C-alpha cells in the first residue's frame, strides 16, 4: 500500500531533499540486506522478527526518519516498529542515501482513518471536522500509521491516536488546542502528537496548550538536532 494518497504532495527523489522527523522513505529492495547487515542487534532478534524484517523493503513498506543517535554520523537515521504480536521492538537503522528509492509526505488522517478501529472513529471524525473548520490537514504517526501502511495489527485497546499538525496561524492557535482538548476529554482514545514547525521540529500539543498563554511559557522542541526548551513566543515569531 503506497504511503502517499493520490493528489497529495508529489513524491521526490531522496537525494534531492533534506530529511526531517516523521518522513517516510522507501528503501530499494536490492539494498535492504546490506542495511540489515550493518545494523547492530539484528542477529539477536527472534526468528519471526528477522523473517518479517527481511521482507520489509520487498513488500514496499517504508521506514521513518528519526533523530540520529550518538555516534550515527553517516547515512540517514531511520526506524521501524515490530507489531505488538512480535513484541513492539523498535528497530533503529541507518541507510545510505543511494539506498533510498523514494521519500513520501506525511500520511493524512483522512486517508489512514479507513484502517482505524471502530472505537476510534467518532474521535477521528471530530478531529477531521476540526481540521476542516480551521483549514488544517492533520497527519498520523504511531500505531495507526503502521497499521495503515502494512496491514498488520499495530493498534491495541490502549493505543493513542498520534497526530501531526501543521503550524497554525496565530488567530486559530487557541481554537486548535482547545478543540483537541475537548475531543481528547470525550475519550475513549487518548489524543497525542505534535504541532510541526519549519524543518520538521515539533512540540507536543498538550505542552503547547498548557504554556501558550503564559508570559514566560516554554516548551520542549524536538528536531533532528536534538531537543531544547524554548520560549513559546519565539515559535510563532
pLDDT tens, residue order, the chain (237 aa): 333 333 333 333 343 347 889 999 999 999 999 999 989 888 788 899 999 999 999 999 999 999 988 888 789 999 999 999 999 999 999 999 999 999 998 999 999 999 999 999 999 999 999 999 999 999 999 999 999 999 999 999 999 999 999 999 988 999 999 999 999 999 999 999 999 987 789 999 999 999 998 989 999 999 888 899 999 988 876
In a domain, 6, yes or no: no
Same domain, 49 and 153: no
Give the Cβ contact number of residue 219 at 10 Å.
22
Long-range contacts of 155-159 (CB under 8 A, 24+ apart): 155/116, 155/117, 155/120, 156/84, 159/189
Domain count of the fold of the chain: 2
Domain that holds residue 138: 107-235
Same domain, 170 and 75: no
Same domain, 118 and 39: no
**Which cell numbers hold the place of 83?**
507489531
In a domain, 8, yes or no: no
Same domain, 75 and 113: no
Is 192 designated active site? Answer: no
Same domain, 45 and 79: yes
User: Phi/psi zone of residue 43: left (φ > 0), alpha (ψ -120 to 50 degrees), beta?
Assistant: alpha
**Residue from 37, 48, 125, 162 carrying the catalytic annotation:** 162
**Residue from 37, 48, 125, 160 carrying the catalytic annotation:** 160
Same domain, 134 and 49: no
Q: For the chain, give the number of residues.
A: 237
Is 160 designated active site? Answer: yes
Domain edge (last residue) among 71, 87, 104: 104
Same domain, 168 and 226: yes
Amino acid at each position: 500500500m503506497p504511503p502517499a494518497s493520490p493528489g497529495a504532495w508529489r513524491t521526490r527523489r531522496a537525494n534531492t531533499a533534506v530529511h526531517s522527523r516523521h518522513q517516510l522513505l522507501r528503501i530499494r529492495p536490492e539494498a535492504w540486506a546490506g542495511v540489515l547487515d550493518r545494523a547492530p542487534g539484528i542477529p539477536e532478534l527472534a526468528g519471526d522478527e528477522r523473517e518479517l524484517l527481511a521482507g520489509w523493503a520487498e513488500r514496499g513498506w517504508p521506514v521513518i526518519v528519526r533523530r540520529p543517535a550518538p555516534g550515527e554520523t553517516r547515512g540517514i537515521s531511520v526506524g521501524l516498529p515490530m507489531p505488538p504480536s512480535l513484541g513492539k521492538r523498535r528497530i533503529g537503522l541507518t541507510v545510505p542515501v543511494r539506498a533510498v528509492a523514494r521519500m513520501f509526505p506525511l500520511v493524512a488522517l483522512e486517508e489512514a482513518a479507513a484502517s482505524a478501529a471502530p472505537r476510534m472513529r467518532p474521535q477521528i471524525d471530530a478531529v477531521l471536522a476540526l481540521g476542516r473548520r480551521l483549514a488544517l490537514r492533520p497527519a498520523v504517526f504511531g500505531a495507526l500509521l503502521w497499521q495503515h501502511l502494512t496491514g498488520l495489527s499495530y493498534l491495541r485497546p490502549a493505543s493513542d491516536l498520534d497526530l501531526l499538525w501543521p503550524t497554525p496561524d496565530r488567530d486559530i492557535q487557541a481554537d486548535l488546542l482547545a478543540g483537541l482538548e475537548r475531543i481528547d476529554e470525550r475519550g475513549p482514545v487518548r489524543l497525542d502528537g505534535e504541532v510541526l514547525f519549519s524543518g520538521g521540529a515539533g512540540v507536543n500539543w498538550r505542552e503547547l496548550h498548557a504554556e501558550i498563554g503564559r508570559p514566560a511559557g516554554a516548551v520542549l522542541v524536538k528536531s533532528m538536532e536534538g531537543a531544547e526548551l524554548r520560549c513559546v513566543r519565539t515559535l510563532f515569531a
